[in-house]
Amino acid sequence: MKFLPLLVNSASCGGIQDEAGKSEAVWTGNRPVSGRSITGLTIALTAAGLLTCLWSAHTGETNRHASAAIGKGSGAARAAIPHRGTLPVKVSPEITHTAESGGKAVNITIDDGPDPVWTPKILQVLHDNGAHATFCMIGPHAAENSAVVKKIVADDDRLCDHTVSHNMRMNHRSDAYQKSQILDAERMIQQASGGVAPMYYRAPGGAFTPYSRQVAATHGMRPLGWNIDSKDFYRPGVNAIINTVKYELRNGPTILFHDGGGNRSQTYEALKQLLPWLKTQGYTFSFPVR
């Protein structure tokens, strides 16, 4: 396993931490959340500690080989993809990074939205390539862009809770704070979607704790890690994003991209090239194991 420390300055991703602040994976850096669509309440909640990080989530899940793909190409396959209903489904509190169907598959995961500009563009690229994704949403962003959330659901993509405030230090906050961040965001996302609840929970900055993972699991949301950080958040260039993903594919199936936190034109262009390439390499598109 190789980790590359990197100092950063904006919103999502990182290494998993326990309640004592000891890394379960790896995390580095600082980056504030974009303020464009976060409400005053959210800003107040995050002012105490906007620390973020980049992480490669290789822990908490030993089964890397359970995978497989559900393609978007056939109506039957699309119709078979479930969304969680109103009653919580029992899931494990362990962090998942594997694909839920077998074979050579990838899980596309997209953080920090929804964004009124970039999320619809990314949805179109996914549709054009018969791909699905899991969208990890910040609660107020979902509330402000409910039409986009409903479009994600209509496209048979999945929803993930990414908290209210995207506080990268929430693993150092009280249990009550962690619980409200998770469950308030869940409520916002479910209301925005028209009743479809998130199926996963991804801690901002990877700031998971045993308590927060249990809260999420009790409410039917599987804690979600990742194996590959595309590093698209930093806008390193389209080719750099593509090359990072290709190089890191050996690490596992779950790939992190962003649709929020700023201009995502590089992410959009990279996905336009990466998704067809993945298909030519024999990969199919799946969702993370729940």
3 belongs to a structural domain:
no
Domain that holds residue 66: 40-286
Q: Could you read off the pLDDT tens digit of each residue along the chain, which spans 290 residues? A: 333 333 333 334 444 433 333 333 333 233 434 433 444 433 333 333 333 333 333 333 333 333 333 333 333 333 334 444 446 788 999 999 999 987 899 999 999 999 999 999 999 999 999 999 999 999 999 999 999 999 999 999 999 999 999 999 999 999 999 999 999 999 999 999 999 999 999 999 889 999 999 999 999 999 999 999 999 999 999 999 999 999 999 999 999 999 999 999 999 999 999 999 999 999 999 999 99
Q: Would you mind telling me the total number of residues written for the chain in this entry?
A: 290
33 belongs to a structural domain:
no
Output the pTM of the full model. Answer: 0.75
Summarize pLDDT for 205-235 with one digit per residue, the tens.
Answer: 889 999 999 999 999 999 999 999 999 999 9
The catalytic residue among 58, 97, 111, 115 is 111
Q: What are phi and psi of 284, to 5 degrees?
A: -120, 170
What is the distance between the alpha carbons of residues 216 and 221, in angstroms, rounded to a whole number?
5
The catalytic residue among 162, 166, 172, 258 is 258
69 belongs to a structural domain:
yes
Q: Count CB atoms within 10 A of the CB of residue 130.
A: 18
20 belongs to a structural domain:
no
258 catalytic per annotation: yes
11 belongs to a structural domain:
no
13 belongs to a structural domain:
no
268 belongs to a structural domain:
yes
> Could you tell me which residues come within 8 angstroms of residue 82 by beta carbon, excluding any fewer than 6 positions away?
none
- Token output for 198: 């998130």
155 catalytic per annotation: no
Domain count, the chain: 1
175 belongs to a structural domain:
yes
What are 105's strand-pairing partners?
284
Domain at 168, CATH number: 3.20.20.370
